[in-house]
Amino acid sequence: MSTVETVVLSADNPLRSISVLPYRLPPFDDITPEHCREALLVGMAEQRSEVASILGSAEPPTFENTVVELERSGALLTRAWNVFGNLTSSVSTPRVREIEREIAPLDAAHADAIRLDPALFARIDAVHAARHESGLDAESVRLVERYHLDFVLAGARLDEAGRTRLTELNQELSTLSTAFGQNLQLAAEASAVRVDDAADLDGLDPEAIAGAAAAAADRRVDGYLISLLLPSGQPVLSKLRNRELRRRIHEASLGRASAGEYDNRPVAARIARLRAERARLLGFATHADVVLADSTARTTAAVDAMLASMVPASVANAEAEAAVLAEVAARDGVALAAWDWAFYSERVRAERYAVDATALRPYFELDRVLTHGVFYAAELLYGFRFTLRPDLRGYHPDVRVWEVVDADGVEVGLYLGDFFAREGKRGGAWMSSFVRQSGLLGTRPVVVNNLNVSRGAAGQPTLLTLEEVNTLFHEFGHALHGLSSAVTYPRFAGTAVPRDFVEFPSQVNEMWALWPQVLGNYARHVETGELLPTAVVEAIDAARLWGEGFGTLEYLAATLLDQAWHRLSPETDVADPIAFERAALEKAGVALALVPPRYRTTYFQHIFAGGYAAGYYSYIWSEVLDADTVEWFRENGGLRRENGDLFRSRLLAVGGSVDPLEAFRAVRGRDADPAPLLRRRGLARA
């Protein structure tokens, strides 16, 4: 087992025992980063002791004394990680980052010490061999199979030399992944674009300008500050009339973490090479093959076939859009460049479809979208009701807490919302859990959604773009997955499903954002109370396919870049990651200067500092299931409780306790049909 610093858990450490707050909500006000560090180190030691007890049993290995005991182990470590992991993403400080750098390699070594222990694997292997003759129920059989696969893919079958080398690789990869994420966060903050004169912000609405002023004030700089969101495309580019400022923002976005103190180029190249070596050690050709071994796609060939089938039509659609935009830009005497795309695309949307994105924002006030849109749809579909609990505190003043009960008044769990961008918070949007549901442990879910929207000026409401509305519905789909969980073992709770399936329920939930009954309940003008006019709703629907060429191509470019990085052999030394990126995009046929990848290498957090390495294809893979399920909802009357109950019980509630595609078939009655996705993205027509 790994050796870490000997630390004693202080008597006043709030993580020492299970929280007495409702639903075991962590007592955030009392928890410091030092408490987290202490609990993480002691938690590792406790779990090592628990594993030693399993190995010290004189009894033959059984499901209960081996697999179930492993499920129960590491309670303190889990509590600590659930808090600290969110702090690193949401309220990072220099001390938090320092602790993260210290703990990451120790945690990797700790995990390896468990999964590479030959004696422990021998017990799991024995339980696995007898699983069908042991009288286990279906969920328990699947738990045994999952543990066995986890250990095999972690290297349990390696010899001693192989285990030693694998441990070294995992520790270095953990350190590098932490460095990548921290570099990106600091580079993004350093790359925020400062504007001196408000006149340069012409085109932005007053709320956005006030938000830029507030961002500058928060950072204690003069003027206005345009903070960068995680993807390449920055939303403000669609409105700014100052072309030079558009260029500055675009180049700042694409150049993040690609030079200087926070340069992620060597970090990314080293991560890719070490992952390739690890894959070879485990008996796989590439890291992508390792990832696909535990997915619904199964093989790289299946992923390649899907992506290749979409590239030609996506390129054709994007080029057709570019031709239209070039004509519109020429009227201004502008030769279309990448930083002009969003601006002129918005003009085309307004001219052709009478959709003005800025004019929509007053209809999308954050709290109303959340309570009268997101929560409203969840109540109609699933019977969930949300009650604000101001007596329960989050980990930051921005965080609010809601209690969730079902239609019968039975307690479900807690939902936390952390929606505003701020210093110390990584970009993007995500869902995570503080407590996972488990029948074995007697726990109910506590989940959190993070977004990065610009806060309204003091005393003013926060208005969302239509894209941010969709993002809120999307991330809430993940939250519903966690809240709906009804499994025995925490290993299967909520979103604990294969990476290429996890986005499916969240993408389905996006459909309710523009569902007439839901839209009519939340889309009211923040000042007049006027409903979003029917003509505008019709225009939004008519404009649905405009921009799909760009959107699909930028996504495919990022996906194919991910695959290129993770198909490397360990002998390949990428000396120039930017040149490698360019060559990979050209080879894949997606290198359009006007359409950069959604994420470039140096800020591709999903794959270098997240769980999507060789798995970014998951979004489009899941969208096949999503688009087909949306049609199922429509065929069966849409927003009906009967539909929600079936989707919840057969798919959301079971988490990873059944094969994901079996869960899909239990809802749809058949395998997925890709045709709805092709129609949605305009690829069938192309």
In the chain, domain spans: 14-115+117-157, 191-256, 361-542
The fold of 14-115+117-157 is Glutathione S-transferase Yfyf (Class Pi); Chain A, domain 2 (1.20.1050)
pLDDT of residue 244: 98
Please tell me the number of Cα atoms within 13 Å of 171 on its side-chain side.
Answer: 16
Say which of 100, 475, 503, 581 is annotated catalytic: 475
Give the strand order in the sheet containing 411-420.
385-388, 400-405, 411-420, 446-453, 430-435
Residue 1, pLDDT score: 40
Give the contacts of 440 (CB within 8 A, at least 6 positions apart). Answer: 68, 71, 72, 488, 489, 490
Q: What average pLDDT values come out for the chain (686 residues) when binned by 10 residues? A: 68 97 98 98 98 97 98 98 97 97 97 97 98 98 98 97 98 98 96 97 93 92 95 96 98 98 98 98 98 96 96 96 98 98 96 90 97 98 98 97 97 98 92 98 98 90 95 98 98 97 97 97 97 94 94 98 98 97 98 98 97 96 97 97 98 98 97 94 77
User: Residue 439 has what pLDDT?
Assistant: 98
Say how far apart CA 649 and CA 42 lie, in whole Å.
Answer: 38
DSSP string, 486-540: --SSGGGSTT-S-HHHHHHHHHHHGGGGG-HHHHHHH-B-TTT-PBPPHHHHHHH
The CATH architecture to which 361-542 belongs is Orthogonal Bundle (1.10)
Report pLDDT for 684.
81
State residue 4's pLDDT score: 53
Cα three-residue angle 307-310-312, rounded to 5 degrees: 120
Neighbours of 529 (CB within 10 A): 7
Q: What is the pLDDT of residue 358?
A: 85
| Residue 475 bears catalytic tag | yes
- How far does CA 558 lie from the centroid of its chain? 15
Q: What was the pLDDT predicted at 686?
A: 45
